[in-house]
Amino acid sequence: MDPLPLYIGGRFVNGAEPTQTIVNPATGATIARAARATPAETEAAIQAAREAFDDGPWPAATAARRGRVLLEIARRLRESADRLARLETENMGKPIIESEFDVADAATCFEYYGGLATKVTGDVNPVPDEALSLTLKEPVGVCGQIIPWNYPLLMAAWKIAPALCAGCTLVLKPAEATPLTAIELARILDGIEDLPKGVVNILTGDGPDAGAALASSERVDKVAFTGSTRTGRTILRAAAESNLKRVTLELGGKSPNIFYADAAWEPAIEGALFGVFVNQGEVCSAGSRILVERRIHDRFLDAIVEKARTIRLGDPLDRATRMGPLVTAAHRERVAGYIEQGRREGARLVLGGVRPDRELAAGAYLEPTIFAGVDPGMTIAREEIFGPVVTVMPFEGEADALRIANATPYGLAGAVWTRDIYRAFRVVRKLRAGIVWVNHMQPTYVEAPWGGMKMSGAGRELGRYGVENYLELKQVHVNLNEAPTGWYA
Ligand code: NAI
Ligand code: MG
């Protein structure tokens, strides 16, 4: 099995040994080997991006040209959609229908930023002198982009599209376990003539090596990161101790999904499950804390348990499957550790908590897991589990719901289910979270900002906001008064 190449300076190069084994988590089978970028290889990728930025045509290309390149990337992604979706599922384990959505969303992301390229404008500032004061927007420079394994291709799109829209160059590092679609994306990009060599570099490698090198390099101007809060902190520190590069972070969460007694019943039951079990619960915005108004709590718990029993766990390539394996066996063990801890701390396991047997035994599967009788102080109610595990807790009234909901260092997302629009908006305003859904949970749009408050991150991705992270402002003063100022008269 030939190892996958690194993509540096518009060339596919074989990395030096050793390689990383890539496993299909549904079967445990080895499906590829990926390069582990060495420090020299990481430096070469940064150098390629540096040259493409400092001396290449891309940052100065017209916005229209950059936009067309992005639209062409989108077109080619759609052309390869079936193959990409299959690769994503084989590598990551998510149900094929979710991978299909992800590929379509990735293409939509490139289309959005392709269109936006010609709409990024500066300002004319109304200064009180005979002068023209301009605010120009310029690309921030070389970007290091470090992404996680839960949405491998989509996270690559969220990072690369706005960076290219702004005229930046970049080095993208996929997560160790999930490089397959990133390398495919490199092949797609490599075929686009109007995208100069070295603008996009894709480097598989370990976080503490290649990732850390991007974060601490003096020659990288900005890092964009999605992943754990812990690694986010490390990256911020590396940025502070090197060149004070710009940093945007999209980190973990422990998001509340709040249900009032007056909520439409069936959609609420579905929404409670979809909110946390989509993508096996490996979602930063997972609604992993279900809060239910006390007078419906028992009935609601029974209903979600009954419905959760019908979730089809199985071969992720099967279109009927709604939950695949976790990303790796190691991650499954980590999630199982939380389940064990929940039991030890006295929570009541009402569903799941076990690995399925028989034909699924070889994969990294874990059954959808629901805990009741949960105290907000328990570990499973506080820490991000990042798997198919949810805690259900009762609340008494609005103040109680908000108190529990906001009692977390995280602030990524939240949802509230009620037919009372006044109450819904009171809750919306008081939730300390970057994304709030009313009577739904998880729909995500490239047109709207994405990111968290508190320890869930810094900055926002997507939408018009997303491109701003890749732009510097330059103030330009143009004197329009030809006469001497007379200052030294
Ligand atoms: P991680 O945050 O360590 O990894 C994410 C990315 O960061 C990967 O590309 C990794 O190679 C890179 N990385 C790791 N250490 C680094 C370092 N020192 N410097 C630079 N880059 C580094 O997350 P991991 O270990 O895969 O998962 C641990 C937990 O993090 C999960 O169980 C989950 O709770 C959380 N997580 C949250 C995600 C989110 O979307 N918010 C995504 C992935 C994980
Ligand atoms: Mg880690």
pLDDT at residue 201 above 80? yes
Q: Is the CB of 92 under 6 A from ligand 1?
A: no
State the alpha helices, DSSP H only, in 394-460. 398-406, 421-430
Predicted pLDDT at 470:
98
pLDDT at residue 17 above 80? no
Please name which of 125, 126, 127, 129 lies closest in space to residue 485, comparing C-alpha atoms: 129
Check the CA dihedral 325-330-336-342 and report its sign: negative
User: What ligand is nearest to the CA atom of residue 233?
Assistant: 1
Q: What is the pLDDT of residues 378-423, one digit of tens each?
A: 999 999 999 999 999 999 999 999 999 999 999 999 999 999 999 9
Q: How many whole angstroms from 148 Cα to the centroid of ligand 2?
A: 9
Predicted pLDDT at 36:
97
- pTM for the model stands at 0.98
Residue 489 pLDDT class (50, 70, 90 cuts):
confident
Residue where the block lists tokens 């690309």: 139
Q: How far is CA 353 from CA 27, 332, 339, 340, 356, in A?
A: 20, 11, 6, 8, 10
248 in Cβ contact with 426 (< 8 Å): no
Please name which of 201, 170, 164 lies closest in space to residue 65, comparing C-alpha atoms: 164
Q: How many whole angstroms from 404 Cα to the centroid of ligand 2?
A: 28
Predicted pLDDT at 357:
85
- Residue whose CA is at the smallest distance from ligand 1 atom 25: 228
Percent of the chain residues past pLDDT 70, beyond the cut: 100
Q: Which H or E run includes 247? A: strand 246-250
Residue where the block lists tokens 């994969």: 363
Mutate to test the pocket of ligand 1, among 228, 382, 461 (most ligand atoms within 8 A of CB): 228
Domain span(s) for CATH 3.40.605.10 in the chain: 6-251+456-475
Tell me if residue 202 falls in helix, strand or coil.
strand
Domain 6-251+456-475: top CATH class:
alpha beta
Predicted pLDDT at 259:
98
Please name which of 137, 164, 179 lies closest in space to residue 74, comparing C-alpha atoms: 164
Q: What is the pLDDT of residues 339-373, one digit of tens each?
A: 999 999 999 999 999 999 889 999 999 999 999 99
Predicted pLDDT at 399:
98
DSSP state string for 287-337: --EEEEEHHHHHHHHHHHHHHHTT--BS-TTSTT-SB---S-HHHHHHHHH
Residue where the block lists tokens 């009171």: 426
How far, in whole angstroms, is CA 316 from its chain's centroid? 21
Average pLDDT, the chain: 98
The number of the ligand 1 atom at minimal distance from the alpha carbon of 231 is 2
Residue from 98, 250, 461, 468 carrying the catalytic annotation = 250
Q: What is the pLDDT of residues 161-187, one digit of tens each?
A: 999 999 999 999 999 999 999 999 999
Angle between helices 152-166 and 180-190 (to 10 degrees): 40
Alpha carbons within 13 angstroms on the beta-carbon side of residue 486 total: 2
Output the CATH code of domain 256-438. 3.40.309.10
Question: Cβ atoms within 10 A of the Cβ of 307, count?
Answer: 15
- Return d(Cα 308, Cα 301) in angstroms, integer: 10
- Return d(Cα 412, Cα 110) in angstroms, integer: 24
Predicted pLDDT at 126:
97
Predicted pLDDT at 454:
98
Q: What are phi and psi for residue 349, nearest 5 degrees?
A: -75, 115
- Return d(Cα 28, Cα 44) in angstroms, integer: 34
Could you tell me the two tokens for 337?
A: 């550790």
Predicted pLDDT at 1:
85
88-110 burial, b if ≥16 CB within 10 A, otherwise e? bbbbbbbbbbbbbebbbbbbbbb
Mutate to test the pocket of ligand 1, among 149, 154, 231 (most ligand atoms within 8 A of CB): 231
Alpha carbons within 13 angstroms on the beta-carbon side of residue 215 total: 26
DSSP state string for 20-63: EEEE-TTT--EEEEEE---HHHHHHHHHHHHHHHHTSSTTTS-H
Q: Is the CB of 173 under 6 A from ligand 1?
A: yes
Q: What is the pLDDT of residues 45-86, one digit of tens each?
A: 999 999 999 999 999 999 999 999 999 999 999 999 999 999
Measured in residues, the chain has a length of 489
Could you tell me the two tokens for 349?
A: 């396991």
Determine the Cα angle at 87 with ends 86 and 91, to 5°.
Answer: 120
Three-state secondary structure string covering 254-265: CCEEEECCCCCH
Domain span(s) for CATH 3.40.309.10 in the chain: 256-438
Predicted pLDDT at 358:
87
Residue 111 annotated in active site: no
Q: How many whole angstroms from 208 Cα to the centroid of ligand 2?
A: 8
Q: Is the CB of 176 under 6 A from ligand 1?
A: yes
Q: Is the CB of 284 under 6 A from ligand 1?
A: yes
203 in Cβ contact with 210 (< 8 Å): yes
Predicted pLDDT at 372:
98
Q: How many whole angstroms from 209 Cα to the centroid of ligand 1?
A: 13
Q: What is the pLDDT of residues 232-291, one digit of tens each?
A: 999 999 999 999 999 999 999 999 999 999 999 999 999 999 999 999 999 999 999 999
Predicted pLDDT at 374:
97
Q: Is the CB of 150 under 6 A from ligand 1?
A: yes
State the alpha helices, DSSP H only, in 117-223. 152-166, 180-190, 212-216
Angle between helices 63-79 and 152-166 (to 10 degrees): 160
User: What ligand is nearest to the CA atom of residue 204?
Assistant: 1
